[in-house]
Chains A and B, each alone.
Chain A
Amino acid sequence: NAGVMQNPRHLVRRRGQEARLRCSPMKGHSHVYWYRQLPEEGLKFMVYLQKENIIDESGMPKERFSAEFPKEGPSILRIQQVVRGDSAAYFCASSPLRQETEAFFGQGTRLTVV
């Protein structure tokens, strides 16, 4: 059973470009969470999705950021018109159940905006 798969592992974008981060949850997991981690910081919750539904996006910036988890295929975190401040590690996690279970994290995508 493969773990949570994220790609790409490293992504370099120029200011103003779009960044697309992909996350395939573990087999059998239908709950996906995205977190952002700045250097030397903890993880900040961004969004929680189930298949085709956004459950909680209270941590998502109001502009430029969007997330989806389609019926088929991976979850996508999209950042439009990236700025230097978007440089961070973005981690995806998945779990089989909603309530009170551990989350399995992917290896993360390190986004660098130049």
Chain B
Amino acid sequence: GQQVMQIPQYQHVQEGEDFTTYCNSSTTLSNIQWYKQRPGGHPVFLIQLVKSGEVKKQKRLTFQFGEAKKNSSLHITATQTTDVGTYFCAGLPYGGSQGNLIFGKGTKLSVKP
């Protein structure tokens, strides 16, 4: 079946270091969304990428969507303790209903002060 693989599963960084998580889909995606989930919390939408090769920035966060629309990345510059949480990518395959987002297993980020 359709899968979205996300790596790494865990990332421990020192505050101020950069962090990147990668997402790869087995099929071409209509769009990809990124969510952040704090421990014990619920997923919160960060961004959606739709166009091939798209790059979007939110302050220290940079999101990319690959040319083939099968992979994506989230890069955080100079991490802070407030960045702690699990970051999920979620892809919508072509032809899928909007609800049938396929989530990656997430990258759990811990930041040491």
CB of B44 within 8 A of CB of A55, answer: no
B100 contacts which chain A residues (CB < 8 A)? 45, 48, 56, 58-59
- The residue that A108 contacts in the complex, of B42, B44, B105, B106, with Cβ under 8 A, is B42
| Closest Cβ–Cβ distance, residue B45 to chain A (whole Å) | 4
Q: Which of A91, A95, A102 has the most CB of B within 10 A?
A: A102
* From A44, A47, A48, contact of B103 by CB (8 A): A44
Is the Cβ of B99 less than 8 Å from the Cβ of A55? yes
Interface size on B, residues (CB 8 A): 26
Contact B97 A91 (CB under 8 A): no
Residues in B neighbouring A72, C-beta threshold 8 A:
none
Q: Indicate whether A41 reaches chain B with its CB closer than 8 angstroms.
A: yes
List 6 other contacts, CB 8 Å, given A48-B98, A107-B41.
A31-B99, A44-B103, A48-B100, A100-B50, A101-B98, A105-B43
